[in-house]
Amino acid sequence: QVRLTEAGGGSTQAGGSLTLSCRSNGYTYNTDCLGWFRQRSGEKREGVASFYIGGGSTEYADSVKGRFTISQTTAKNAVELQMNSLQSEDTGMYYCVQWVARAGQCLGYLNYGYNHWGQGTQVTVFA
């Protein structure tokens, strides 16, 4: 069974930075994506950032472009999300997810095939 282990998160003041990390204990195929989804209070779940294992391409939600950076670590099955210039609107539960890409595209194709979720880590940004 695939299990995703998350680390990082916590709380910071607006304008601060946090780093999230995620490692999959399963095999990551070249057709997989690794990334982060978040659930903010009263909002729909949204994809934040993704890394396409097969080609290394990244995708970001418009709300985090220019502030968040996702990267693969030296381990193929692990990614980090560097979050800078955090805003109170970034507060929420962040989930690491491994899922199948569609033609190299990740965000927007969460349910294209299987998807595996971590337990989530809380990010709180104080205004």
Report pLDDT digits (tens) over 20-69: 999 999 889 999 999 999 999 999 999 999 999 999 999 999 999 999 99
pLDDT at site 122: 97
What is the C-alpha to C-alpha distance for residues 22 and 15, in angstroms, rounded to an integer? 23
pLDDT at site 105: 95
What is the C-alpha to C-alpha distance for residues 101 and 52, in angstroms, rounded to an integer? 7
Give counts: helices (H), strands (E), the chain. 0, 11
pLDDT at site 16: 98
pLDDT at site 74: 87
What is the mean pLDDT of the segment spanning 67-73?
97
